[in-house]
Chain A
Amino acid sequence: MNVSFKAWAIGSTMLMMSATGAFAEVVFNRGNSADPESLDPHKTSTVYEANIVRDLFMGLMVHNAKAELQPGAAESYTVSPDGKVYTFKLRAGANWSDGSPVTANDFVFSWQRVTDPATASEYAYLMAPVVNAEDVTAGKKKPAELGVKAIDDMTFEVMLNAPTPYFLEMLTHQTTFPVSKANVEAKAADFTKAGNLVSNGAYVLAEFVPNDHIKIVKNDKFYDAANVKIDIVNYIPTEDRSTAMKRLEAGELDSNDDIPTEQLAELKAKFGDQVRLGPLLGTYYYAFKLDKAPWDNVKLRHAISMAIDRDLLAEKVWTNTMIPAYSFVPPGIGGYETSLTEYAETSQLDREDAAKKILTELGYGPDKPLKMEIRYNTSENHKLTAVAIQEQLKPLGIEVSLLNTDTKTHYGHLEQKGDFDIARAGWSADYKDPANFLDLCKSTAGTNYGSYNSKEYDDLMAAAAAASSPDERMKKLSDAEAIGVARDLCVVPLLHYGFHTIVSSKIKGWEDNVMDVHPSRFLSKE
């Protein structure tokens, strides 16, 4: 195809059709729960953006169809013996969509851009392992002092504060993706617009009509373009899940990243194994307000935790799209042994007996009922979960009331350390590492909604961060979880998330994985 990039990117379908005319283009209509906030990889934060940005851009490392790590923009890398310096050899021939080469300077520019406070990247903290990254983001040092440099055009070097076992895994996150320095400097804030955006991934942006669709087309400058089988991907925001299911049935969509889980049985009957379920690295939890009586009593917290029938929540409320959780860190992170609460293996009725005993010991009874309010952000499934817990606690004489607010009010209230008894929250992993979860219970963390404050825990987390070997680090993290979560219940883990997607049988190469990562370049359509 000799169509110049300009004409290509303006998104004139007609032009494209005449250029390719001879064969029918393969179009993949991909349902995505929401529009991306931004297509600037450094300003994205949600999985909806990750899906699209991953198709447009390529990081140093990439996930393949099974979410296994493989080299991307870097052809190879070397690690210094102390594990603190990574040197990446960039892939020759992996160019930007405007034909210019992706250079180490682009990476230096991009990484400095992410950490620069003026960029205000939501995920800048992800860069924390890089030397000076935290200080740059906090405005204490200049972006130029960030521990990255271009040895030559094709060699990019990163200096880390400490050996970071998950560093390579981290490079699959879109925050670490490169943007073209020339393009960003020329187009400034408008560089993400269709027609302006220059990317190095398998696809280029053709159209972005908010709330309607994002059309990306195959990038013929992509180094592996020969193996990209889908020509056009339309990302379609499908905020109404019921409509999405009908559009799928009508053939207007080929996949959707979410399903109305309450209809799972009917959907399975209708769509068969096109409905895909499996575990995901994420935890759905409740947090007690730990600095407030009576919730400062750890025995009481355990009593309530034990009385919550997680099996029932997983099976009946979430139709087995979630799994019962007894640890904060979900299973499935290699090398890490989760620390479970001690009643994880006992049966529910025994747990309830133990809970009753604690409540009686603490003097709660018919004449002194325990009152508790569950705060949650409005959503059908959060509501059903809270309602089920309310009913489960009723036989123990606990009077539960519910309070729902919209998401922003909910998290605003939690972040401001507003008053509550117990509140819902959730966390899903940015990359496969336990610290990503356990950091939430550190006394200094902004997301420590329950105000957990334990020196023992903080010390263990600090020891893990300073650990010299990956094994030691994992051990310390596991110990921290045993103290903070299993013993103290800084959070009450309820369920581990699962993905629940629906993919037409016409789409081939869709491999289920715990990161729920499915780059379009590895897919094909019949």
Chain B
Amino acid sequence: MLRYVLRRLLTAIPTLFVIVTISFFLMRVAPGGPFNQEKGLNPVIKANLERAFGLDLPLWKQYFVYLGNLLRGDFGPSYNLPDFTVAELFAAGLPISLQLGTAALVLSLVIGCAMGIYAALRQNSWIDYLVTAVATAGSTIPTFVIAPVYQIIFGLLLRWAPVGGWGDGTFANKIGPVITLALPFLAIFARLMRGSMIEALHTHHIRTARALGLSDYSIIVRHALRGALLPVVSYAGPAAAALLTGSIIVESIFQIPGVGRYFVDAALNRDYTLVMGTVVVIAIFTIAFNLIVDLLYAVLDPRVRYE
């Protein structure tokens, strides 16, 4: 097992390299550049700017310069916010996205799975239908609808929480973004959990266990849940990577200074260094969580073994 983990960590290096390389060139062949804007620049000034940011070099040279800097841990200054380096922007925003993301992940996993299990145990009861309805609604109503509705109800009508802003990260500032982030994932977890739990409860060994008179609790936890968690865990990997790195919609509607916005804004602004920063961050999260998921498979299902 330890050897497997080590090997996976080692393969992460070439994986990251491939990601950085493809992203770099994909980004650079796209039309438009960081200095294209509504008020166009005159060619002399544009040339000065390109020289200042090293964009006048041949592309392959730029690539190696970037790679060299990256190896030293230098992500460079942001093009769009030149007062800050990419590292500074992430240092300021990532903790905020992580706080919101972790809370949303825990909330959606715990409540989602609990709802799913309960619905599966009471299959075709009104509770089951209620869970299905809530889950469907949760996965159907887009975040950009939930967020403004929350703002109107809790921010304007009830005045229980601010409409937006981070403030000092107080509970009142966080609750709206967390709920909005969590809802769609909660819905997905609930539905995946319900489906696989029903399947698990119908397998031979669970039926046998029930026939042998084992208690419901023991059946659920010891036997059914383990196998049933597989698809939930599979989905939780990418979901965690997505949640922890923030969400542009939630952050821009609630005006939260996280990093989720950079994943879209940086690309739209052709903020090349920031784009690469987001790529590296999302790659690290994805690789890490997919590794964790693979390890969890072995925990949940002893038959899954890694050589």
A, B co-complexed: yes
Number of interface residues of B (CB under 8 A): 54
Task: Say which residue of A211, A242, A408, A414 sits within 8 Å of B261 (CB atoms).
Answer: A211
Which residues of A, 399-432, contact B by the 8 Å Cβ criterion? 406-416, 425-428
C-alpha gap A35/B82 in the complex (Å): 12
Which residues of B, 166-225, contact A by the 8 Å Cβ criterion? 166
Q: A250-B162, A412-B31 are in contact. Are A138 and B268 (CB under 8 A)?
A: no
**B12–chain A nearest beta-carbon distance, Å:** 29
Check B23 for interface membership: any CB of A closer than 8 A: no
Number of interface residues of A (CB under 8 A): 60
C-alpha gap A513/B193 in the complex (Å): 60
Q: Which residues of chain B have C-beta atoms less than 8 A from A138's C-beta?
A: 44
What sequence of 0s and 1s flags, for each residue 249-272 of chain B, a beta carbon within 8 Å of any chain A beta carbon?
001111111100100000011100
**A3–chain B nearest beta-carbon distance, Å:** 22
Most chain B beta-carbon contacts within 10 A, residue among A37, A118, A238: A37
C-alpha gap A246/B152 in the complex (Å): 8
Binds A, one of B48-56, B63-71, B228-236: B48-56
Q: Which residues of chain A have C-beta atoms less than 8 A from B238's C-beta?
A: none
Which residues of B, 49-100, contact A by the 8 Å Cβ criterion? 49, 51-53, 77, 80-84, 89, 92-93
Q: Count CB-based A-B contacts (< 8 Å).
A: 162
Check B227 for interface membership: any CB of A closer than 8 A: no
Which residues of A, 110-168, contact B by the 8 Å Cβ criterion? 117-122, 124-125, 134, 137-139
Q: Which residues of chain B have C-beta atoms less than 8 A from A240's C-beta?
A: 252-253, 255
Task: Assess the A252–B40 pair: CB atoms within 8 A.
Answer: no
Can you name the residue of chain B whose Cβ is closest to the Cβ of A212? B257
Q: A45-B39, A411-B38 are in contact. Are A250 and B49 (CB under 8 A)?
A: no
**B27–chain A nearest beta-carbon distance, Å:** 11
**A198–chain B nearest beta-carbon distance, Å:** 15
What sequence of 0s and 1s flags, for each residue 193-211 of chain A, a beta carbon within 8 Å of any chain B beta carbon?
1000000000000001111
Q: Which residues of chain A have C-beta atoms less than 8 A from B140's C-beta?
A: none
**B203–chain A nearest beta-carbon distance, Å:** 49
Q: Which residues of chain A have C-beta atoms less than 8 A from B31's C-beta?
A: 408-409, 412-413, 416
Check B43 for interface membership: any CB of A closer than 8 A: yes
Task: Assess the B39–A39 pair: CB atoms within 8 A.
Answer: no
C-alpha gap A213/B257 in the complex (Å): 9
Task: Say which residue of B80, B148, B156, B251 sits within 8 Å of A37 (CB atoms).
Answer: B80
**A408–chain B nearest beta-carbon distance, Å:** 3
Check A247 for interface membership: any CB of B closer than 8 A: yes
Q: Which residues of chain A have C-beta atoms less than 8 A from B49's C-beta?
A: 120, 122
Rank and list the top 9 A-B pairs by shortest CB-CB distance, nearest first.
A412-B32, A408-B32, A212-B257, A120-B52, A447-B40, A411-B36, A211-B257, A412-B36, A120-B48
B residues sitting closer than 8 Å to A (CB atoms) are: 30-46, 48-49, 51-53, 77, 80-84, 89, 92-93, 148, 151-152, 155-156, 159, 162-166, 251-258, 261, 268-270
Could you jot down 23 A-B contacts, CB within 8 Å? Answer: A37-B83, A38-B82, A39-B83, A117-B48, A118-B52, A120-B49, A120-B52, A124-B48, A189-B77, A210-B93, A211-B93, A212-B165, A246-B163, A247-B165, A250-B163, A252-B165, A377-B38, A407-B32, A407-B37, A409-B30, A411-B37, A415-B36, A446-B43
Knowing that A119-B48, A249-B156 touch, tell me 8 more A-B residue pairs with CB under 8 angstroms. A125-B44, A134-B44, A192-B83, A210-B89, A377-B38, A415-B36, A415-B40, A427-B38
